[in-house]
Amino acid sequence: MHHPFKVGFCFPKFLRRDKGESGTSHGVSVSEILAVRELDVDSGTKDDGRWQKMPQKSTEAYPYAFTVSYVERAWQHRWRCSDVTFHCLEGALCQQWVQTIREQLTALTSRPKHLLVYINPYGGKQQGERIYEQKVAPLFTLASISTHVIVTEHANHARDHLRTEAELKKYDGVVCVGGDGMFSEMVHGLVSRTQRDNGVDQNSPEEKLVPCTLRIGIIPAGSTDCICYATVGINDPVTSALHIIVGDAQAMDVCSVHHNNTFLRYSVSLLGYGFYGDVLADSERKRWMGPARYDFSGFKTFLTHHYYEGTVSFLPATDILGTPRDKTRCRAGCFICQHNGQLYSEDHQPLFLLPEYKGGWRVIRGKFLAINAASMSCACPRSPKGLSPAAHLADGTTDLILVRKCSRFNFLRHLLRHTSKYDQFDMTFVEVHRVRRFRFTPRYCQSDSELDLRENGKKLFSQICRDHPACSCSPAYSSWNCDGEILPHAAIENLPVGQPSLHSSVKGT
Ligand SMILES: CCCCCCCCCCCCC/C=C/[C@@H](O)[C@H](CO)NC(=O)CCCCCCCCCCCCCCC
Ligand SMILES: Nc1ncnc2c1ncn2[C@@H]1O[C@H](COP(=O)(O)OP(=O)(O)OP(=O)(O)O)[C@@H](O)[C@H]1O
Ligand SMILES: [Ca+2]
C-alpha cells in the first residue's frame, strides 16, 4: 500500500504534501484543528468552492485528498487559520482519516457548538457588523458552529435580553462584538440573571455571587478593547474568533460597586476617579470622534489638571501570593491565580470576611489626581503593559493606585511611563496597594444627601473657591469611570467578589 502521508504512532503527526513540497513533516495538535474536509481533487475545488492550488503531478498520482484547517500562531499573540492538504491513493483511507479526525474533534467537549452573538453596530469605528460578517462568521461556519445573531438597536439591549429573555439553555456561550462597554453589558446581563435565578441579593455587599456557567467571548470592535487585549494579548477579531472556536476559557474577577448599601454596577477592568473619570465624562460628549475622543479628552483633562480631596479606605490583601510590583505577568494557567483563587473555593470562607480581619482596614486622606482600581492589568493598544502590569485576572484582588496631587510635569512623566518599560509606580506621589475591597468618600460628601449636593455642585464649587481664593479651582467632585461607564455617585464601596466567577472564551498566550 502506498500513500504519501505517513500514519505516525502519534495521531496528530501528519506528513504534508502540498504546494509541491515532498515529505514536509508537520505536527498539528488535535486541540488546534478547526475543521477537516474532503477534497474533490478531480474538479480541482474544495467542497467550499474555493480553488486549491495543486501541482498537476500530485493530482494525477494521488487522486484522494483532505484538508485540515488549524490554528497557526503568528506574530504578537495573533492566531491565524491555516490549511494543510494531504493526498493519497485510496479513497477509503482518506475517508478513514477524515472520520477519525472528526471523531476526535467531537470528543473535545469544551468547544462551543451553538453561540448567541450580539453585535454593537456603533462601537469603536462602527465596524462591528462588517468585522463579524467578513472575519468571524466564515470561521464559525468552517468550525460548524451555529449562531443566533442579534444586532443591538439601543444601549443595554444585549444586557436586558440576556437578563430576561434569552433562552440560555440553547447555547454553549455568548459572544459580543464590540468594546469594553458591550462586554460590560454582557457581564451585567449574565451575572444578574445568575444571581436572580439562585436567589442571591445583589445589594448585599457581604453576599457571595454565584459564578456564571456560560462563557463570554469577545470579538474586539471597540475603542479601548482592554478586556480583550488583557486576556488574549492582542485586539484582533480573527485571533479572538479562533480562541472561541477551540474553546479556550479564562476566569476573571468581577467586582461589585455599591453606594450606601445599594448595588450600582459590576466592574472587571478599571474603576477610576479623577483623571480617568474626567476623561470619560468629557469623551462621552464626543462619541462622534470615535476612538480618538479619548486622546482629545485625555489631552484636555491633562491640561485642566484637577485634583480631588477625599478619603480612601481599603482592606489590603495580606493572605495572597504576589504584589503589584512583581515583574511576572498574569498568563493563561497563572499559578498565582490558581493559588489565590483557591481561597474562594466552596469550602473556604474568604479570610477577609472573618471578624478578625475587620481590623485590617487602612485609611488614606489626601488630594488625588487619580484613584485607579485595576482588577486586571488594563493593557490596551494605548498602553500595552496597562495601568497595573502585574495585576491578575482571577486572583480575587484589585490593585488600588493612588496618584497624589503633583505638578503637570510629574503627572506627564507618570502617564508616559504607561507606554514604556519604566515603572509608573516608582514615583514619590504614586502608591499602589493590592486590596480586597475599598471605599472612597469625597471630602465634601455628606453621605446620604450627596446626590443633592452634586445637583448643587456649582453652588458648592463657588463656595469652596470663595473660601479658598488662592486655590486652583478644582471642583469638589470627579466621576467614577466604571469600565467605561460613568457612575452617578462619587462615594462608593467596591469589593472584588473574588471568586473567579466569570469565564471569557479567551486566554493569554
Ligand atoms: C503622553 C501620552 C500618555 C499616554 C498615557 C496612556 C495611558 C493609557 C492608560 C489606558 C488605560 C485604559 C484603562 C481602560 C479602561 C476601560 O475600562 C475603559 C472602557 O473601555 N476605557 C476608558 O475609560 C478609556 C480611557 C482612555 C484613557 C486615555 C488617556 C489618554 C491620555 C492622554 C494624555 C495626553 C497628555 C499629553 C500631554 C502633552
Ligand atoms: N445599538 C446601539 N446603539 C447605541 N448604543 C449602543 C448600541 N449597542 C450598544 N450600545 C452601547 O454603546 C456603548 C459603547 O459600546 P462599545 O463598548 O462596544 O464601544 P466603545 O465604547 O467604542 O469601546 P470601548 O468600550 O472599548 O472603549 C456601550 O456602552 C453599549 O451599551
Ligand atoms: Ca484581579
Q: What is the pLDDT of residues 272-288, one digit of tens each?
A: 999 999 999 999 899 88
Helix (H), strand (E) at residue 281: helix 275-284
Of 368, 377, 259, 371, the closest CA to residue 329 belongs to 377
Q: How far apart are the C-alpha atoms of 53 and 36, rounded to whole Å? A: 17
Does ligand 2 lie within 6 Å of residue 151's CB atom?
no
Atom number in ligand 1 closest to CA 179: 20
Closest ligand (CA of 398): 3
For residues 170 and 199, the answer to whether their CB atoms sit within 8 Å is no
Q: Which residue did the predictor score with more confidence, 427 or 345?
A: 427
Ligand 2, pocket-test mutation among 117, 120, 227, most atoms within 8 A of CB: 120
Q: How far apart are the C-alpha atoms of 395 and 432, rounded to whole Å? A: 17
Does ligand 2 lie within 6 Å of residue 179's CB atom?
yes
Of all protein residues, the one whose alpha carbon is nearest to atom 22 of ligand 2 is 124
Q: What is the pLDDT of residues 11-47, one digit of tens each?
A: 333 334 444 445 566 678 899 999 999 887 665 544 4
Does ligand 1 lie within 6 Å of residue 378's CB atom?
yes
Q: How far apart are the C-alpha atoms of 18 and 83, rounded to whole Å? A: 10
Q: How far apart are the C-alpha atoms of 67 and 5, rounded to whole Å? A: 13
Q: Rounded to the nearest 5 degrees, what angle is found at the Cα of 402, between the Cα atoms of 488 and 320?
A: 100
What dihedral angle (degrees, nearest 10) is formed by the CA atoms of 189, 342, 355, 312? -60
For residues 476 and 441, the answer to whether their CB atoms sit within 8 Å is no
Mean per-residue pLDDT over the chain, rounded: 82
Asked whether the predicted pLDDT for residue 355 surpasses 60, the reply is: no
Mean pLDDT of 412-419: 97
Burial class (CB within 10 angstroms; exposed 0-12, middle 13-18, buried 19+) of 10? exposed
Closest ligand (CA of 388): 1
**Reported ipTM:** 0.96
For the beta carbon of residue 363, count every other beta carbon within 10 angstroms: 10
Q: Give the pLDDT confidence score for residue 213 in this predicted structure.
A: 86
Q: How many CA atoms lie within 13 A of 457 on its CB side?
A: 13
Q: How far apart are the C-alpha atoms of 368 and 72, rounded to whole Å? A: 46
Confidence of residue 205 (pLDDT cuts 50, 70, 90): confident
Ramachandran angles phi, psi of 361, nearest 5°: -70, 140
Q: Give the pLDDT confidence score for residue 472 in this predicted structure.
A: 55
Does ligand 2 lie within 6 Å of residue 297's CB atom?
no
Residues with CB under 5 A from ligand 3 (ion): 253, 375, 392, 395
Asked whether the predicted pLDDT for residue 52 surpasses 50, the reply is: no
Q: Give the pLDDT confidence score for residue 475 in this predicted structure.
A: 80
Does ligand 2 lie within 6 Å of residue 380's CB atom?
no
Taking the centre of ligand 2 as the mean of its atom positions, its distance from the CA of residue 364, in whole angstroms, is: 35
Q: How far apart are the C-alpha atoms of 308 and 404, rounded to whole Å? A: 9
Of all protein residues, the one whose alpha carbon is nearest to atom 2 of ligand 1 is 416
What dihedral angle (degrees, nearest 10) is formed by the CA atoms of 137, 142, 145, 149? 10
Asked whether the predicted pLDDT for residue 143 surpasses 60, the reply is: yes
Provide the sign of the torsion angle of the four alpha carbons 177, 243, 502, 148, taken in this order: positive
For helices 292-304 and 275-284, angle between their N-to-C axes, nearest 10 degrees: 130
Amino acid at 220: P
Atom number in ligand 1 closest to CA 481: 23
Predicted TM-score of the model (pTM): 0.86
Ligand 1, pocket-test mutation among 296, 300, 388, 415, most atoms within 8 A of CB: 415
Residues 303-339, buried b or exposed e (16+ Cβ, 10 A)?
Answer: eeebbbbbebbbbbbeebebebeeeebbbbebebbee
Q: Which residue did the predictor score with more confidence, 471 or 119?
A: 119
β-strand partners of 481 = 272, 486
Q: How far is CA 21 from CA 27, 29, 38, 288, 374, in A?
A: 15, 21, 20, 52, 50
DSSP string covering 138-181 = HHHHHTT-EEEEEE--STTHHHHIIIII--GGG-SEEEEEE-HH
Q: How far apart are the C-alpha atoms of 334 and 465, rounded to whole Å? A: 50
Q: Which domains does the chain have, with CATH numbers?
A: 13-106 (2.30.29), 109-248 (3.40.50.10330), 261-497 (2.60.200.40)
Q: Which residue did the predictor score with more confidence, 24 or 324?
A: 324
Helix (H, G, I), strand (E, B) or coil at 334: coil
Q: How far apart are the C-alpha atoms of 386 and 393, rounded to whole Å? A: 13
For residues 228 and 218, the answer to whether their CB atoms sit within 8 Å is yes
Helix (H, G, I), strand (E, B) or coil at 92: helix
Q: Is 172 a catalytic residue?
A: no
Asked whether the predicted pLDDT for residue 422 surpasses 60, the reply is: yes
Closest ligand (CA of 160): 2
For helices 408-416 and 292-304, angle between their N-to-C axes, nearest 10 degrees: 150
Q: How far is CA 366 from CA 76, 231, 360, 429, 440, in A?
A: 41, 34, 20, 11, 11
Asked whether the predicted pLDDT for residue 4 surpasses 50, the reply is: no
Q: What is the pLDDT of residues 216-272, one digit of tens each?
A: 999 999 999 999 999 999 999 999 999 999 999 999 998 989 888 888 999 999 999
Does ligand 1 lie within 6 Å of residue 302's CB atom?
yes
Q: Give the pLDDT confidence score for residue 490 in this predicted structure.
A: 74
| CB proximity list for 35: less than 8 A, separation 6 or greater | 68, 69, 105, 142, 143, 144
H-state helical runs in 342-441: 408-416
Ramachandran angles phi, psi of 447, nearest 5°: 5, -80
Confidence of residue 443 (pLDDT cuts 50, 70, 90): confident
Does ligand 2 lie within 6 Å of residue 178's CB atom?
yes
Mean pLDDT of 321-349: 80
Does ligand 2 lie within 6 Å of residue 223's CB atom?
yes
Atom number in ligand 1 closest to CA 225: 20
| CB proximity list for 198: less than 8 A, separation 6 or greater | 210
Q: How far apart are the C-alpha atoms of 429 and 407, rounded to whole Å? A: 10
Asked whether the predicted pLDDT for residue 487 surpasses 80, the reply is: yes
Q: What is the pLDDT of residues 361-404, one digit of tens each?
A: 899 999 999 999 999 999 999 999 999 999 999 998 999 999 99
Asked whether the predicted pLDDT for residue 107 surpasses 50, the reply is: yes
